[in-house]
Amino acid sequence: MAGEFEGKVVIVTGASRGVGLGIARRFLEAGASVASCSRKEMLPPPFADRIPGGVERAVHWVCDQRDFDQIDAFVTRVVERFGRLDVLINNAGGAPTTSTTEVSPRFHKATIENNLTGPMWFALRAHRQMVTQESGGSIVNISSQASSPAGSPTLVSYGAAKAGLNHLTKSLAKEWGPKIRVNCLSLGHVVTEMWREYIARSDPAIEHKLAAQVPLRRFAQPEEVGDACLFLCSRSGEYVNGATIAFDGGLA
């Protein structure tokens, strides 16, 4: 796909670390301009200076997706800087595993807002821009295997929010076609600091056990999620719409 994304403008939310960083990297390597965000300040992505033209094509600005005004200001700033918006990767989110009754009701509310309301707001704001462009746009929501209809004990509000994100994907794809495609990746294990701390509990024995459950016998790397996003937003993925794709090595 080298060159296919030249001139395209991509937003990746939650790209100060982890999966988002891998996705941002792949789009930058494919020639796109990439605007990423997180709640904390960060210098431009660490890999940008190793990609030809990367420093000029990459920005990282603060935007908390729990606040629609911040999303509105962020997207406005991206369009002012780069002139358009072709792709939104709704990646920011996550939650620690907890005993459902031992955390406060506010924890559950905040988890649902950060994993469902925020991405929905980002999609709505991106749509407002994309619909004005002849070529429309493409949105990818990053969900989780915790959204499975089989349930997700200890990740109850997170699983419910991500299941909502899968449903939102289908609804928006049906409403916003043909100009805007909306798809979703339901991730299994992807190696990030968050994953090591909360899922593998920094314990090699747990990692070993988890890997044994995956038919491919390994975990994914953040850049591999980036590759799947590139496919969904490329010409090769043009007929894929409204899909929630398991990206889990065959685990589900």
Q: How far is the CB of 141 from ligand NAP (least distance, A)?
A: 9
Q: How far is the CB of 125 from ligand NAP (least distance, A)?
A: 13
Q: Do the beta carbons of residue 110 and residue 65 sit within 8 Å?
A: no
Instruction: Give the separation between CA 74 and CA 61, rounded to whole angstroms.
Output: 8
- The residue (of 33 and 192) whose beta carbon lies closer to ligand NAP is 192
Q: How far is the CB of 81 from ligand NAP (least distance, A)?
A: 18
Q: Measured between alpha carbons, how far is residue 124 from residues 6, 75, 127, 139, 180 in Å?
A: 25, 11, 5, 11, 11
- Site residues (CB under 6 A) for ligand NAP? 13-20, 37-40, 63-66, 91-94, 114, 118, 142, 144, 187, 189-190, 192-195
Q: For the chain, how far is it from start to end, CA to CA, in angstroms?
A: 29
Alpha helices in 113-248 (DSSP H): 118-130, 156-176, 193-198, 204-213, 222-233
Q: Which residues pair with 126 in a beta bridge?
A: none
- The residue (of 31 and 195) whose beta carbon lies closer to ligand NAP is 195
Instruction: Give the separation between CA 11 and CA 35, rounded to whole angstroms.
Output: 5
- The residue (of 31 and 75) whose beta carbon lies closer to ligand NAP is 75
- Looking at residue 116, the DSSP 8-state letter turns out to be I
- The residue (of 15 and 126) whose beta carbon lies closer to ligand NAP is 15
- Looking at residue 219, the DSSP 8-state letter turns out to be P
- Three-state DSSP at 164 gives helix
- The residue (of 93 and 226) whose beta carbon lies closer to ligand NAP is 93
Whether residue 158 lies in the annotated active site: yes
Q: How far is the CB of 99 from ligand NAP (least distance, A)?
A: 19
Length of the chain: 252
Q: How far is the CB of 205 from ligand NAP (least distance, A)?
A: 18
Please pick, among 74, 82, 158, 176, the residue that the annotation labels catalytic: 158
Helix (H) or strand (E) holding 3: none
Question: Looking at the annotation, which residues are catalytic?
Answer: 158
